[in-house]
Structures are given as C-alpha cells and as structure tokens.
C-alpha cells in the first residue's frame, strides 16, 4: 500500500468525522475518489476536490477541473437563434451569434496559469472550441476570435514558465503541442509568434517542430506549413526569408509594414529601418495613381511613420523624429498628430520654427479641428476670427463652443448668433428641444 502523506493542518469548521475519513485515505485512494467524484453531483465534486487538494499532486486536480471547464464551454456556447418571431415572422427574437460565458473563460485562464503540459493542452482545446464557434457565428465573430487570441497569449506565457523546467521528453511534447496550435483551423486569427517560445524550447524540440512543419507541407496542409515557415524565418533571423515571406513583391506599403514588423521581431533593427524608409517613401495621397485604398494606405503609412519616428527618438536624433512627425501631419492632418509633433519638436528645440507651418497645415485641411484646437489652447479670439472667415466649414457643435467662449468676454457680439441657433431648435416639439433652447438662452 502507498505510504500516507503527512497531513497538513486543517481549518476550523470541518467536522471531525470528515477529518477522520480524509486522514484515513492514502494519496492513491484520494486520487481515485477525485476521479469517481467527477460523476457525482457538482456540489459534492467541488467540495471533495477542495478538501483533497492538499493531499494530491496539484496537477491532477487542475487537469480534472480544466476538463470540466472545457465541457462547460462546449455546452454553454449559445448557438444562433431563429431571428424570426413565431407570431408574425419578422420580429427580432434574440441573438443570432455564438457567445461564450466569460466567467468560464476566466476560470480557464486562472487554472491554466499553473505551469504544466496538461494545462497547455487544455488551453489549446479551449482555443479550438472558440475558433470553431467563431467560424460558425454569423455576427460579431471578432469577439470569439479575440478570446481565442487571449488564450493563445496565455499559452505562450505558460510555455515560457514551464519550458526551462521540462526534461527532453517534455520539451518535445511542448513542441508538438505548439505545432498543433498552428494547425488549428482558423489559427491565422491567433497571431502566434514563435519568438515567444524561444526560451521554452531547446535545439531538439525546435528540430521536432521543423520536422512536423515539413511533414505538413509534404502532406498538403498548406495553412499550418505556411504559417510555421513564416515564423521560423523570424526565429532564425533570416533577413532574406523574412522579406520574402512577409513582404512578398514589396509593391505596397502594407507589404513593407508586414516585413518591417517581422524584421523587428527578429532583432534586425537596421534592416527594418532601411525597409521602413523605403516603404514610407512609397506613400501616395488617396486618389493619386498607384495609391492603395485610403484606409489601407493611411493605416500602413501611419504605422511606418510611427515606427521611424520612434526609432529616431530612441537613438537620440530628436530633430529627425520631429521632421518625420511634421511629414506625417502633412500627409494626414489632425489634432492628435499636431500634438505629437509639438511634443517631439519641443524636445528637439524646433517647435518655434515649425509651429506656423504645422498649424497652417491643420487649419487648411481640417478647419473644424483647427477651431477646436484653438479653443483647447484658450486662443478664443483667434477661434472667433477664423470661424467668421470659414463658417461653412465649421460644424454646428464647434460653432456653439466658439459662441460660448466669445460670450464670456464679448456677450453683446453673440446674442444674435444664439437667437439664430434657437429659432430652428424651437420649431421642434418635445422636451429635448426645449432643454436645448434653454441651454442656448441662459448662456
């Protein structure tokens, strides 16, 4: 018979009969009780698991609880409901999306923080459930995919804590589990990066991962093979392979951005900056020949400019960073970009020289935003004068803010303007209109 473990001190309130019963059990007997308890009522199982845990290998308890949580996730995914009402066939009758109880998700997260191979496998199973539900959902798929990505981040963190403590066989198992994560349908939503596992796996384990990747490619599993191949290029720090895998033909700013980000993750900062400059120079204003769509062009251009400005600031070239931010403002004027330029230029000592040009860019391209910027800086007289010259380009809301600011120092000048605002509002019936009229009148 297995030797009894030393019994820990127990908290008050547990009956003596229960205490005696538990103390009489060996560790093997308690393990058997926990397994049997899984078939019992939930309350009994919860109590027994909590009471037996001090005697057990903690992982056995965690594994059992993770298994139960995964079953609950499977059973509590809400499948799409019929969007038509039984009576008239048209009324909305509930959500038409798959949702998950986020308390369950948090329980999985909390339990999986215990470093173990079993916890990693359970996490992967939960990720698979979420990805499958997301693929089946008609709306709001991103919510389920975001949950899956959150668990993928936890998987990497778990591996980082667990890997150094594993033996050779354990690291091989971890490598296999990692590849299985890449092979999940919908895994492209997870954004798994092999560099997050760098310290968790050793040479033989990475060799096993590569072996599985090659086998997937040979068998036609293009998705898992392509994703693994791209990430292995980053892990290896292979500049040419990274540019080819992530940048492709390097014809668009989006391609340059993907390659720059991958080179950065690989620690190839100089190569990343060279490519970022090439990509940033590729910009075309929306509507120009060769320009990408506005959304994609602006997003990639903004990220490339931000990358270059941060890099310049990091190496101490504050003036270069300020010039980059001025160019970013020219390409897409806005208050946020103006604020970032001002901060950087003040750091570089060049704001006095740049201020006039920068403010003129915003005023010309975004008159309404420029008025709000003037008001935020308490430059109320300038806001009043500028609005008078550009009234059709200033929104009603901003115009009202200008009137309120002007009225604090020149009330007589704004009375007629407020009356003009009140007249159309007063023509609308209802309390909201009356309250708005009152708000204008009592300024």
Least confident of 132-141, 201-210, 255-264, 311-320: 132-141
Average the pLDDT over 40-65 and give the result. Answer: 53
Q: Which range, 51-65, 141-155, 266-280, is most confident? A: 266-280
Average the pLDDT over 297-315 and give the result. Answer: 90
- In this predicted structure, the answer to whether residue 92 has a pLDDT above a threshold of 50 is no
Total-model pTM? 0.69
Least confident of 130-134, 271-275, 338-342: 130-134
**Integer-rounded Cα radius of gyration of the chain:** 31
- In this predicted structure, the answer to whether residue 206 has a pLDDT above a threshold of 70 is yes
Query: How confident is the model at residue 28, as a pLDDT?
Result: 61
* Tokens standing for residue 264: 């950065």
Percent of all residues in the chain with a pLDDT value above 70, rounded to a whole number: 65
HEC per residue, the chain: CCCCCCCCCCCCCCCHHHHHHHHCCCHHHHHHHHHHHCCCCHHHHHHHHHHHHHHCCHHHHHHHHHHHHHHHHHHHCECCCCCCCCCCCCCCCCCCCCECCHHHHHHHHHHHCCCCHHHHHHHHHHHHHHHHHHHHCCCCHHHHHHHHHHHHHHHHHHHHHHHHHCCHHHHHHHHHHHHHHHCCCCHHHCCCCHHHHCCCCCHHHHHHHHHHHHHHHHCCCHHHHHHHHHHHHHHHCCHHHHHHHHHCCCCCHHHHHHHHHHHHHCCCHHHHHHHHHHHHHCCCCCCCCCCCCHHHHHHHHHHHHHHHHHHHHHCCCHHHHHHHHHHHHHHCCCHHHHHHHHHHHHHHCCHHHHHHHHHHHHHHHCHHHHHHHHHHCCCHHHHHHHHHHCHHHCCHHHHHHHHHHHHCCCHHHHHHHHHHHHHHHHCCCCHHHHHHHHHHHCC
Query: What tens digit of pLDDT does each residue of 367-416 get?
Result: 999 999 999 999 999 999 999 999 999 998 899 899 989 989 998 888 88
Sorted by where each begins, the domain ranges of the chain are 57-78+97-230, 237-315
Higher pLDDT, 36 or 291: 36
Which residue's structure tokens are 């010259």? 389
Least confident of 93-107, 203-217, 347-361: 93-107
Q: Buried (b) or exposed (e) across 37-69, using 16+ Cβ within 10 A? A: beeeeeeebeebbebbbebbeeebbbbbbbebb
């Amino acid at each position: 018979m297995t030797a009894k473990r030393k019994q820990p001190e127990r908290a008050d309130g547990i009956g003596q009969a229960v205490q005696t019963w538990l103390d009489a059990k060996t560790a093997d007997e308690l393990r058997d009780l926990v397994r049997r308890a899984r078939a019992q009522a939930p309350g009994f199982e919860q109590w027994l698991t909590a009471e037996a845990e001090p005697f057990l290998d903690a992982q056995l308890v965690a594994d059992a609880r993770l298994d139960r949580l995964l079953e609950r996730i499977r059973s509590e995914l809400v499948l799409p409901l019929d969007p038509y009402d039984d009576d008239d066939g048209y009324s909305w009758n509930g959500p038409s999306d798959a949702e998950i109880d986020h308390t369950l998700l948090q329980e999985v997260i909390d339990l999986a923080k215990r470093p173990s191979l079993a916890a990693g496998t359970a996490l992967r199973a939960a990720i698979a459930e979420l990805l499958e539900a997301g693929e089946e959902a008609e709306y709001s798929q991103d919510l389920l995919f975001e949950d899956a990505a959150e668990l993928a981040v936890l998987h990497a963190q778990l591996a980082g804590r667990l890997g150094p403590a594993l033996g050779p066989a354990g690291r091989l198992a971890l490598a296999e589990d990692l590849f299985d994560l890449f092979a999940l349908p919908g895994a492209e939503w997870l954004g798994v990066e092999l560099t997050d596992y760098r310290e968790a796996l050793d040479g033989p384990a990475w060799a096993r991962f590569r072996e599985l990747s090659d086998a997937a490619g040979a068998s036609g599993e293009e998705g898992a093979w392509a994703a693994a191949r791209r990430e292995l290029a980053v892990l290896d720090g292979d500049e040419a392979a990274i540019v080819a895998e992530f940048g492709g033909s390097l014809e668009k700013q989006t391609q340059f951005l993907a390659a720059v980000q991958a080179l950065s993750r690989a620690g190839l900062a100089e190569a990343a900056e060279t490519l970022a400059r090439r990509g940033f120079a590729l910009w075309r204003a929306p509507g120009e020949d060769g320009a990408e769509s506005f959304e994609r062009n602006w997003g990639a251009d903004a990220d490339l400019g931000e990358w270059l400005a941060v890099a310049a600031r990091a190496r101490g070239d504050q003036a270069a960073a300020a010039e980059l931010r001025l160019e970013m403002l020219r390409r897409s004027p806005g208050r946020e970009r103006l604020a970032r330029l001002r901060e950087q230029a003040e750091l570089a000592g060049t704001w006095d020289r740049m201020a006039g040009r920068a403010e003129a860019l915003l005023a010309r391209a975004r008159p309404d935003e420029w008025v709000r910027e003037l008001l935020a800086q308490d430059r109320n007289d300038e806001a009043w004068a500028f609005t008078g010259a550009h009234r059709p380009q200033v929104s009603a809301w901003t115009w009202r803010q200008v009137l309120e600011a002007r009225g604090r120092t020149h009330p007589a000048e704004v009375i007629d303007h407020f009356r003009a605002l009140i007249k159309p509002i007063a023509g609308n019936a209802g309390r909201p209109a009356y309250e708005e009229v009152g708000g204008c009148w009592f300024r």
